[in-house]
Structure 1
């Protein structure tokens, strides 16, 4: 099962984390595996590239988050303060900080270089399944199995907004590139869009017939892609909620989706043990 993946368009690579305990890097154009990073002692639930592409951070069932040097596959850091599995990881845009979300109900913020924990963000009453930094690094958003999406100030450690509307566990959250909106996916089968400044819900996209496990904005903010337990990948027009395309091919639930920086490709990871790369332009 491939749980989460990120796509780096500049170098045409993508990476996946799996229940086989590994992080793998792939060449998008050929599908060739170009790296297999081993070190976790449990399922890998989440992976995230650094913005410059030189590092990958991964979160695991083994309660740790690990940093990998992408050129060599060498493990260069390990965060192990969480008392439950690490479900979500995210790297700040400037590469200085990493956020992790865990089954211990907390979001923790770390200095990437020193591995020092800076702050623990507390407020969720159930597992934190997903975390994401805003592009400017001023906010973190988290999604939890307490059905809420929360926005945090990582400097003060204070909760800015608690976004309520989902009727089930929130599995995925994603910032728009300009930081003005947040997308979230839930086991209530919906994708919701929120105004980041006010916390107001401004969209609810319906079409999936099972839980939405992953969401991601396109870089230009015009589309959102979602992956679901129904095995389908759907592309939505962000402004209207109109379904632009339903991508079929996976035979089991889709756990991870990611859009390339240039908007030309979408990567998806599934419980059918495959990572698939799609031409986004051909989707619509």
Structure 2
């Protein structure tokens, strides 16, 4: 592993032992960015001293210094073939350098923004820049000509990190809401997605094209939750107006309204879809003001229901009898595992917790977010957990070990809802 520090050094670490292997010293100011060459034989560093340095891993010797930026170098990267180096600076430019000679090959000038992050495409033909302080955009550039190919203008704040997917394809953004997006859901076949916003209405999107296909209108108050029916033909939505509505996907028409379903009365209610009638009421959460029900979920076999409440408890209920089976204290449940044996919970200021349904015992804790966790989801095979947080990231966790596998840093504001596609990809 490599690390760059404000003590002006780069350090090489052995992953298996955690021991420091080597220290690279020559920069005269903070080291902001480091990278390994594709063959692992060299190290690149970018610094507040306005230079990029090339180091030999085996000896720790400085091989070359690339000079040309007039301000801090915030990001560095090797080309896939290792023959070129890319640097991004607070002088508002990216520079392409030839490794063998140390000479500047090309400068990419985009405007008045500081360059915070740079990346090569997998084929080395394009580069990406993340910019802050001006237009807050990402820009795609052609390496051979130095021309700007595309500008991505999705961000309300600066872009701090950029990366290409391994296949080099663009990640899709769905635009159309006028306010915060609070909940999302995939259709069972993975071809469509639902989203809701405080600004209303419900939006249906085509995944392959990113096009908005339909809007479900009819609410006078904020939406709180949305879900597809198992066959994908209907959509169910919940609102702060104390109703649930059932919608037909093909026509976008409202099919049925379930009235009296507000959870502020500290209850859960079971309804028959065909008639719209209330079948059962589940009572048991605190009678105090903070006993309102905030989230519900069915077990995969449909025999049990989980509820969470502002009374800081999670309750397991038997659907057939309506009886409370177990109470989990100090948590807010979100989802059952696909096999129904476990449940995930989140709570303000606390890490994600995994619970065994049969015993009520806490099995594992997932720690790593720097802000409160807002949403969690199991992968379809139950082996991974996805989480969204007010720290503006999503994180992927391995259930068996509890270890963080990956962090997704695309957001300028908190992540409010997460979901896996049906195939888990």
Unaligned runs of 5+ in 2: 174-208, 211-367, 379-383, 396-402, 408-425
Q: 1:41 aligns with which of 28, 48, 53?
A: 28
Change (3 A) 1:33 1:91: same
1:79 equivalent in structure 2: 66
Question: Are the counterparts in 1 of residues 377 and 387 from structure 2 also a CA contact under 8 Å?
Answer: no
Shift of 1:244: 3.6
Q: What are the within-5 Å matches in structure 2 for residues 134-149 of structure 1?
A: 134-145=121-132, 146=134, 147-149=136-138
Question: What is the CA deviation profile of residues 141-180 of structure 1, one whole-angstrom value per residue up to 9, with x for unaligned ones?
Answer: 0001031000001110100001101100110000111111
SS of the residue corresponding to residue 170 of structure 1 reads: coil
Question: Are the counterparts in 1 of residues 46 and 76 from structure 2 also a CA contact under 8 Å?
Answer: yes
Task: Count matched residues.
Answer: 200
2:93 equivalent in structure 1: 106
Question: Are the counterparts in 2 of residues 88 and 100 from structure 1 also a CA contact under 8 Å?
Answer: yes
Question: Are the counterparts in 1 of residues 35 and 43 from structure 2 also a CA contact under 8 Å?
Answer: yes
SS of the residue corresponding to residue 57 of structure 1 reads: strand
Does the alignment pair 1:119 with 2:101?
Answer: no
SS of the residue corresponding to residue 27 of structure 2 reads: coil
Shift of 1:235: 11
Following the alignment from structure 2 to structure 1, what is the Cα–Cα distance between the partners of residues 3 and 406?
10
Q: Which structure 1 residue ranges, 4+ long, deviate > 2 Å from structure 2?
A: 181-184, 227-232, 234-237, 243-248, 264-268
Change (3 A) 1:138 1:228: farther
Q: What are the within-5 Å matches in structure 2 for residues 114-263 of structure 1?
A: 114-145=101-132, 146=134, 147-181=136-170, 230=371, 244-246=385-387
Change (3 A) 1:119 1:78: same
Question: What is the CA deviation profile of residues 67-122 of structure 1, one whole-angstrom value per residue up to 9, with x for unaligned ones?
Answer: 11111111101111000000010100100010000000000000011111000000
1:187 equivalent in structure 2: none
Shift of 1:29: 1.0
Following the alignment from structure 2 to structure 1, what is the Cα–Cα distance between the partners of residues 376 and 143?
31
Change (3 A) 1:98 1:44: same
Question: What is the CA deviation profile of residues 202-259 of structure 1, one whole-angstrom value per residue up to 9, with x for unaligned ones?
Answer: 6xxxxxxxxxxxxxxxxxxxxxxxx987499x9999xxxxx944599xxxx99xx9xx
Following the alignment from structure 2 to structure 1, what is the Cα–Cα distance between the partners of residues 110 and 172?
20
Following the alignment from structure 2 to structure 1, what is the Cα–Cα distance between the partners of residues 11 and 146?
33
> Structure 2 length as normaliser, TM-score?
0.42
Q: 2:79 aligns with which of 77, 92, 98?
A: 92
Shift of 1:135: 1.2
Structure with greater strand percent: 1
> Structure 1 length as normaliser, TM-score?
0.62
Question: Are the counterparts in 1 of residues 114 and 131 from structure 2 also a CA contact under 8 Å?
Answer: yes
Following the alignment from structure 2 to structure 1, what is the Cα–Cα distance between the partners of residues 101 and 70?
21
Following the alignment from structure 1 to structure 2, what is the Cα–Cα distance between the partners of residues 131 and 94?
16
Bigger radius of gyration:
2
Following the alignment from structure 1 to structure 2, what is the Cα–Cα distance between the partners of residues 159 and 143?
13
Once superposed, what is the RMSD of the aligned Cα atoms?
Answer: 3.6
Following the alignment from structure 1 to structure 2, what is the Cα–Cα distance between the partners of residues 92 and 52?
11
Unaligned runs of 5+ in 1: 1-13, 185-200, 203-226, 238-242, 258-263, 269-284
Shift of 1:181: 2.9
Following the alignment from structure 2 to structure 1, what is the Cα–Cα distance between the partners of residues 149 and 122?
17
